[in-house]
Each structure stands twice: as structure tokens, then as C-alpha cells.
Chain A
Amino acid sequence: MDILYLLIPLTFLLLGLAVAGLIWSVKQGQFDDLDSPAHRILFEDDADRMPTQTDKPKSDKS
């Protein structure tokens, strides 16, 4: 159980990093828009890259 003496300071370090990351991202404005990211993932803006029926599926070897 003496490992706790190492692990607990380690959690402090990790959590400190996590909180620093949070502060950084909040300051960056990453949380300014909480509404649209949930929808954005659903928009297909790569339609031009999608294979059409006439395209043959590419095999791995080509």
C-alpha cells in the first residue's frame, strides 16, 4: 500500500494537467458555442468524395 505515497502525488499532477487544459480551452473560446457542434458532425460536407454507383469500389491492391 505504500504505493499510495507515489500514486496520490501522481493524481495531483495529472489532474493539474487536466485543469490546465480546461483553462486553456475555455480561454481559447472552445466552449463559446455549445449548440452547433452537436449537429455539425451530422452534416456531410464531403459529398464530393463519396463513391457514386458508377465508381467501382477500389480494392486494396490498386
Chain B
Amino acid sequence: MMQPSNPCFHCGEAVLGQGHTAPIDGLERPFCCIGCQSAASAINSCGLADFYDYRDHTSERPVDPSRSKHSDFGAYDITDIQSTFVTAQPDGTLFFFLQISGITCAACVWLIEQRLSQMAGISQVALNLSTHRLSVTLDPTESAVSDVFFALHALGYGAKPWQATEHHSNLEKLQKDFILRIGIAGVGLMQIMMNTFATYLGDIAWEYEHLLRWASLLFTLPVFFYAALPFYRAAWRDLKSRHFGMDVPVSLALILAFIPSVWATVTESGATYFESVAMFTFFLLLGRFFEFRARLRLDRSGHGLDDLLPLFAHLQKDTGWVDVSSAQLQPGDIVIVKPGEKIPADGTIIAGESQVNAASFTGEFAPVDVTVGDTVQAGTLNADGLLTLSVTHEGKHSSMNHMLQLLEKAAAFKPKIARIADTGASYFVVFILGLSVMTGIIWLSVDPDRAFWVALSVLVITCPCALSLATPVSLTASISAMRQLGALPTNGEALTTLRNVDTVVFDKTGTLTLGQYSLTQQVSRNDNEAYSIAAALEQYSEHPIALAFNNPTELLTAENVTIVANAGIEGWIAGQRYRIGTPAFCATADTKTPPVAAEGAQWIALSQPDTQRHIAWFEVQDCLRFDALQTVQGFIERGIAVHLVTGDPSIQGQKVANLLGIPQVRSGASAADKLAYIADLQRQGRCVLMVGDGINDAPAMSRADVAIAVAQGAELTQHTADILLLNPYIHHILWVLDGSHKTHRIISQNLAWGLLYNLIALPFAVMGFVTPWMAALGMSFSSLLVVFNALRLHRVSR
């Protein structure tokens, strides 16, 4: 792992500048930001600093927990909202599930369970590391539900109520199903092997062999009829759709080995192959299970719309303001939206003015001024003023849903991912079936008694197990290697497609740039002091500019803070009144005109209105990521065409493109335009990789051949991406690209071995030198070799 020279003790990212320190377990430790520092301090003050010894992955950088107050979670104590996720137990306790974000390893499980167990009234707490789901039983007389949310937040984890969906319960059922089938196949396999070995080992009286055969038959019944059921079902589906996958020969081999063995047992003649049936079932199930688990891991993120809408809204009723869940809002309802809250439904402003941040929609983070008469969209963030809205659409008709519909349509047009193994293997299957039948027919004229068993051996030994394992096993190993790079492929095939990519389309804001205001210049006499004052004031703001001031060297406390919409913030620090915001808001007698702002940049002022003293100018703008140039150059070096498509209509897009050397630029593109742009490239025969972050990128991303979502993007976007980038380093995409080439190499080697093995084994089988149990063994060995070769992909290269 590439370690920065001075890593943050909590998240492991480089500590820039002076940074922060805090004592953890008696030692002064460095931190990159206040968020990490306060999470670590919270962990330490709970006596759980051992967490840092236990964990084997660094933690995610949390949103500064100290910015949230307990009251932010107060809505979870409202009965109306609790009813959506909390179950009241007969003994008066409450039981609920929470979906936790920010979990990186098993130590997080330990930390969360320990911390919650410390709280009064919590009688049961369990966090599932596979699903990141936390179950809590709590006595409401001792602790409130909101206490749990607040405690998790203080540790740097995100939590939201979890409700069972059909999708989830299906997956859970499938996992239980798998375990049961594997268990039964395993138990059966062991016992049948034992019986069979007794007959292998030399002379055994026919009477006893007969007994053992009957025993084996009975043990095989649950394996054949229950454990192997998924193969028959899938084979039947394949037959109906006339697409020959792996399950057809697997089922055929199972049936053809089982029925004659039963016949041989009943008629007391011939040979039995119950052990082959069991072995085959067991190992194949195991392989399928590992594949299923890899997919399950990826299913944690995103449920679309629900996450974008706020949980509750302040509704006006005859009796006053009532908090109700957003889903209940009807057109015509009057709601208020406080600063920093998300807008719960599409509506028209009837009172108040503010700035609305539609970043989750447009990807552009700069807020838009709104006032009476303007319409606002559900899911956007009200930055700094109090708004009163008249609801125009209920949740399910909101404009956000139109985006979702666009998304669904786009996904339907996604080019079919080349399943190299499946197409290859399915021809092979047809070939083997034909060969087995022919071998059987020829043997009928040579030695009719053995004809059937020889044909079966051909079927088993050539069963393209190694061939069919070659791809999934390599992909699984490759996925785990990618995870070490901080990239999470949500489907394995994306890695094989990535190899063919010849065009990459980048989004600008939030993808090539940081997507948030950063401080780029400061004009003041005492930089540190001015910055710390600014940070103390901005801490109270939900405006995106506040993020530029999240790293003060000195923690000051501001009091009596008032936020003036569209202007700035005023507050008292150490007995002095300060103002930060627009030059007009902070104008003082000695204010000079601000320096000329660069395109896309903005100057904000800090002043002391009482003494009429101007203190500082801050220039904030969206900055390029530090590795943007390196990434773009890397793509160009690899011969991949780079395009930039941005929703930003300003000249900024062209400027970024010039800076990074991107030849093709398209500015001011809406979500539909981006989608059309990708479709156009595909019509020209290009294989397109889309890298984006905002919801407006989502339709284009679901259309692209491969899509990568960068860290901290909208959840919906992450849901449509084939690969999620979990850390903020976009140059890791290049490593993922190289990794996909390596994966392809290993897959090719595996396929070559599978073919070679079959070519060698086939003649022996056709000539009748191989019995079915030898065939089963040979097949297993060949599969193991493929697995070991694939495991080489675990080694990460960068």
C-alpha cells in the first residue's frame, strides 16, 4: 500500500500542512482534518482506542462529527417516523435495523458493538459485517433511538434506518439455501466416499457390497434431488431459452450417472457411480457459492430515490408545525425547510429566500439563488435561508423520478457484456454432447456392456469445469485485488470489458475537479488567525463554501451566530463581532476593492464591522484533483481517446480541458445530452468508459460500456456504476485498467489449460481407459490448477 509520508492516524490520507493532533491512548497522533480528529477523540474517550490496533484497513474520512448536534437526529424519536422502521416488542423494548456506512473491516464491527453496549438500555446489538446491517434492541425509557444515531455519528459512521425489501430477503434466503445445500452435499459426499472406498479396497463379499450400494443410494438421494436442484432448474431455463450454459452438461452428467447407478443397484448388476454424483455436486455448489458471495458484497450500496429524499418534513397543520415523514406529503401541503435541510418534495416557494444546492441533481455544486415564486426540486439542499413551500408533486411524481426513468431506459440499451467463457464454453458443450453420443454408438459395436460408461466418462472428464471456472475464479481474484486499490467492481464482467475500452468520457465537476470549494488564495496580515476566525464562523453554515474552511490550526468558538441568506455569516469570537461573506456584506470603511477574480473563482471577505476593520480576502474555487493531469495523460499514453462532457455551461470546461490536454470538450450538457453523447460515440463503434459522480451522469453511465463512479458521488450514480472508486485518487483508474489486462491474460491461460487438459484426456476417455471416478478426480484436479493460477491475481501491482 502506498503510504503518505505523514499519514492521518484515522483515515490514512496524507496530512497536508500543519494538520491537527490529538492524544490517542496517551500518544499525540496526527490527523488530516477535524472530522478524523473528532472521530478519533470520540473513540478514545469511550475507552475504545484498541480499535486502532485491531483494524487492518484505514477508516473512511468522516464528515466532521462535531458539526452535528444531537437534535439533528431528533426526528428519529418521532413516533410517526419510527413507525417506518422500528418494531415495538411485547416487553416494551424497541427493535430496529440500521444500515451503516463507513465500515471498512471487522474492527469497525467491534468498535460499534462495544460503543453501543456501553449505552444504557441497549440489551442487544449485533452488526453483520457481510451486509453492514446493525440490529439493536433498546429500552426506550433509558435511551432514545436518536441517541444511537448520534453515538454512531460521533464515531464517524453514517447510519440510516433499514427496512427489509423483497430484494434483500431474497438474497438472504438464497444464501441460507446455498449453505444448506452445500452442507447436505458435503455430508452425503463423505459418507458415500466411505462406502465406496470399502469396495475399492479389494475383496468384499457380494452380500456386503450390495448392502453398501444400497446405503450409498440412500445417501445420494438428498444430494441428487435436493442439493443439485439449482443445476436442473438453471439447465431447464437454458434449454427453454436455447442458450447452452454450463448447467446443461452438468445436469446431464448428474442424471446420466445417477439413474444407471440406481438401475445397477436394484438389478444387482454393473457398476455404481454415486460418489461421482456427490463429488460433482459438492464442488460445483462450492464454486457457485463463492461467486454468489462476491456478488453479495457489492449489493450494499444504494437504493435509489429513498436515500435522496429527507426522511421527514415540517408540515403546517391547524395546530402548528408537525414533523411527518416526507412520503406522506400531498400537493397543496405547506412545509417549511430550515437551512441545511433537504427539500422533501417538489414545490413552489411562497415565503423566504435562500440558495439551493442542486449538486445531487446536476453535479454542479455552486448553489442557485431562489426566492418567492421559484420552484425547487425534491432532494436538493436548502443552503442558508428559511423557506416556506407549497408542495406541487408528491414524492413518487417528483422530478427526481424522471431522472430515474431516464436511467432505466438507458440501462436497457447497455451493450451486452461479452461473456467470453460462456460463449466459448457453450460451443464446447455442444461438441462434447455430440462426442459422447458418438463414442457411445461406436462402443456399442465394440463392447456393448461398457458403451454407456465410456460415454459417461467422456462427458465427465471433458466437462468444461476448468473452462467454466477459468473466468469466474479469475474475476473473483481480480475483484479482490481491485478492492486493495480502493476500486470496487460491482460486476466481474466489467473488468473484461474494460480491456476493450478505446474512449473515456470524463465529467468535470466532482470528477476531474474536487467538486467543492477550496481555498486557493488568501490576502491577510495574519493568515493563520484570519483562517481560524473564518473557520469558526463557517462551521455554522451549510453553504458549500464552508467546506473550504474545514482545516483550522486553532479551534475558536463563535457565539451568537446569525446566517444572512445570500450574504454571509455574522458572529462573536472572543468578544469581537466578525462578518464573513460577500464583499458587500462585509464592507467596511477601509475595504479596498477585491482583487480581480479568476473565472470560476470567488472572493469572500472577513471583517470586523464594529471597528470597521477589514481583515482578509479569501479566494475560493473548485480545484482540479491533484492527480487529474496524471490520469488524463495516462489514458492518452495508453492510446485511449479522452473526452470531457460537463453540465457547467461556463468557459470553465474548456479551460480545464486545455489544462489537462483533453481535445474533445462539450460544455453545458444536460443529463439527456450526456446520454446522447455516449450513444453517439457507441454508434461510431467506440467502446466507452464513463467516469462521473453526479446524478446527472447516471443515465450516461448506465449507457456506457463501462462506468466508474468516483468517491463521494451520489448514491444513485454509484448504483449504476460498474466500478466504484472508494478513495479520492482517480489515477487508480489507470491501475484498474492495467489490472483488467492482467486479468484477461490469466483468463486466457486458464482457458488454454482447460482446453489442453481436455485434448489430452479426451482420447483416453474415448478409448475407454478412464472410469467415471477417475474422470471426476481428473476434472477436480484440473479445476484446482485453474483456481491456483487465478489466485496469482491477488498480488496487486501498481
Contacts and interface: CB of A to CB of B under 8 A. Distances in A.
Interface of A: 1, 4-5, 8, 11-12, 15, 18-19, 22-23, 26-27, 31-36, 38-40, 42-45, 47
A1 B50 CA distance: 60
B370 interface: no
A22 B130 contact: no
A13 to B, nearest CB: 12
Interface string B125-155: 0011111000000000000000000000000
B183 A32 contact: no
Contacts of A8: 211-212, 215
Contacts of B527: none
A15 B129 CA distance: 31
A11 B114 contact: no
A30 B50 CA distance: 27
B107 A19 contact: no
The 10 closest A-B pairs by CB, nearest first: A39-B106, A36-B129, A35-B129, A33-B128, A22-B183, A43-B110, A36-B109, A31-B179, A8-B215, A36-B106
Nearest to A30: B179
- Is chain B's binding surface mostly helix, strand, loop or mixed? helix
Contacts, number: 76
Contacts of B184: 19, 22
Interface in B142-194: 172, 175-176, 179-180, 183-184, 187, 191
B54 interface: yes
Contacts of A45: 110, 114
Contacts of A5: 211
Given A15-B191, A19-B222, 11 more contacts: A5-B211, A19-B183, A19-B184, A22-B179, A22-B184, A27-B176, A32-B172, A32-B175, A36-B128, A38-B106, A39-B107
Nearest to A12: B218
A34 B130 contact: yes
Contacts of B128: 32-33, 36
Nearest to B219: A15
Given A15-B191, A18-B187, A43 B54 contact: yes
Contacts of A11: 191, 215
B205 interface: yes
A12 B218 CA distance: 9
Contacts of B172: 32
A33 B191 contact: no
Nearest to A35: B129
Given A42-B54, A45-B114, A34 B293 contact: yes
A3 to B, nearest CB: 10
Contact of A26 (B107, B180, B219): B180
Taking residues whose C-beta sits less than 8 angstroms from the other chain, chain B's interface range is 20 to 34
Contacts of A22: 179-180, 183-184, 187
A17 to B, nearest CB: 11
B167 to A, nearest CB: 16
A33 B135 CA distance: 13
Greatest chain B CB density within 10 A among A1, A15, A36, A42 is at A36
B208 interface: yes
Nearest to B111: A43
B54 A26 contact: no
A4 B205 CA distance: 12
A35 B130 contact: yes
B50 A47 contact: yes
Contacts of B54: 39, 42-43
A40 B110 contact: yes
Contacts of A35: 106, 129-130
B558 to A, nearest CB: 40
Given A18-B187, A19-B184, A34-B293, A43 B107 contact: yes
Interface in B664-707: none
Nearest to A11: B191
16 contacts: A8-B211, A15-B187, A15-B191, A19-B184, A22-B180, A26-B176, A27-B176, A32-B128, A33-B131, A35-B129, A36-B130, A39-B105, A43-B54, A43-B107, A44-B50, A47-B50
A21 to B, nearest CB: 10
Contacts of B183: 19, 22, 26
A42 B130 CA distance: 18
Contact of A23 (B106, B107, B180): B180
Contacts of A1: 205, 208
A31 B177 CA distance: 11
Interface in B44-84: 50, 54
Interface in B95-122: 105-107, 109-110, 114
B179 A26 contact: yes
Contacts of B179: 22, 26, 31
Contacts of B114: 45
Nearest to B179: A31
Nearest to B195: A8
A45 B179 CA distance: 30
Given A26-B176, A35-B129, A4 B211 contact: yes
A22 B178 CA distance: 12
Contacts of A44: 50
Contacts of A36: 106, 109, 127-130
Nearest to B296: A34
A34 B131 CA distance: 10
A40 B114 CA distance: 12
B208 to A, nearest CB: 6
Contact of A33 (B129, B215, B219, B222): B129
A5 B211 CA distance: 8
A4 B208 contact: yes
Interface string B210-248: 011001001100100000000000000000000000000
A32 B409 CA distance: 35
Interface string B482-513: 00000000000000000000000000000000
Contacts of A38: 106
A44 B176 CA distance: 30
